[in-house]
Amino acid sequence: MIDDRRLLQDFLRLAGIMAPSGKESPVAKALLPELESLGLNVVVDDSTDRTGSDHGNIIATLPPTDGESPWRAFMAHMDTVPLPHPTKPIVKEGSVFSDGTTVLGADDRAGIAIIMEALRTLIEKDLPHPGIEIIFTVSEENGLFGSKALDVKGLRSSMAFVLDSSMPPGSIIATAPFATALTWNVLGLAAHAGVAPEKGINAIQAASRGISSMKLGRIDEETTANVGAIRGGHATNVVCDRVEIKAEARSLREDKLKAQLNHMRSTMKKAVTDYGATLEEKIDDKYPGFTLEKDTPVVQEAVRALRESAVIPKITSTGGGSDANVLNHSGLPSVNLGIGYQRAHSNEEFIAISNLEAMARVTLNLMTL
């Protein structure tokens, strides 16, 4: 029943709209009229002061056909990572690519296109359905800020399906990590590097000792850690007096995350102290993790819909976060479903058209009784 041609054209249209994190208005303005024309009640929340975006989250609702059925939510995010200019999507060899100068933005315009096509088909075919809440969030890529600002308690749904994973169709992400960011400022003492270097305290050297002493990368099968940015110094003839370091740790288990963070923090503190420098530290809990058991209704419903759509289900975990992390933490059982875009956040990003089609059918199945 899905109109494959219309689905592809809609994805191409959405992919070509420039709307990075914080500047989602163009894609929101493209979606709002159609949601209203389909007969949904559409609300834009007042989250802009909490997200930093130029637009609020979109929440569109469609009452159940029998008035008694439970509600379920479908979510995707409107933003992309930063772009130098609008994407030019290109269809070739059964997939959609960009022209190679930008990301494609299938993360997550593909999720939006899938949800919209399933919704169109549902309404056009007058299919019986539960109550449906469509949620398009802002500022996901830069910190899940849209979902964090969303009034989850105000939703009517008992389960939610997020369409935002690079895993192949069939993947049901029922476990995702806890993640915490660390920012360190190492404060040394400036001095002339050629005249009196012994009077200085080199912040770069202290920071380097701390970083080189840490366990980083793949810690175990459930835990990772990374130092991703370092900035400091002014000139080669000045002993560096300040360095900023940005790092993170993630784990599927909260106790393992805490252990890794304690290791990283104590290692950096010891190295800085040994050099006679001073350490300033900021800790930011990026998002909470979640684990849903196989018999959780939202997981079982995803399994059913995939099987009935001739897609093999696979309950799995991921090392990345999504809006599903926030929804679960807020008490709404949610899974993130694989839609199969590849090489996200790079100019080589692409998605197979067959993945769009398969997941639109799965989503329609989830939307019907």
**Average pLDDT per block of 10 residues along the chain, 369 residues long:** 97 98 98 98 97 98 89 98 97 97 98 98 97 98 96 97 98 98 97 95 97 97 97 95 98 97 98 97 96 98 98 96 97 98 97 98 96
Strands (E), the chain: 41-44, 58-62, 71-77, 90-92, 95-97, 131-137, 157-165, 171-176, 178-187, 217-220, 223-232, 242-251, 278-287, 290-291, 314-317, 334-338, 341-342, 350-352
How is residue 184 annotated by DSSP? E
Q: In this structure, are residues 328 and 183 in contact, taking their beta carbons and an 8 Å threshold?
A: no
Q: In this structure, are residues 344 and 184 in contact, taking their beta carbons and an 8 Å threshold?
A: no
How is residue 123 annotated by DSSP? H
150, exposed or middle or buried, with CB in 10 Å at 0-12, 13-18, 19+? buried
User: What pLDDT was estimated at residue 5?
Assistant: 98
User: What pLDDT was estimated at residue 309?
Assistant: 97
Q: In this structure, are residues 150 and 47 in contact, taking their beta carbons and an 8 Å threshold?
A: yes
- Both tokens of residue 3? 């109109």
The domain limits of the chain are: 4-176+290-367, 178-287
User: What pLDDT was estimated at residue 359?
Assistant: 98
User: What pLDDT was estimated at residue 284?
Assistant: 95
- The CATH code that applies to domain 178-287 is 3.30.70.360
Tally Cβ neighbours within 10 Å of residue 104: 30
User: What pLDDT was estimated at residue 66?
Assistant: 86
Residues 18, 140: Cα–Cα separation, whole Å: 15
How is residue 313 annotated by DSSP? -
Catalytic residues: 79, 140
Triad 12, 13, 18: Cα angle to 5°? 105
Chain centre distance of CA 212: 30
| Statement: 4-176+290-367 belongs to CATH 3.40.630.10 | yes
Tally Cβ neighbours within 10 Å of residue 292: 20
Contact partners, residue 9, CB within 8 Å, separation at least 6: none
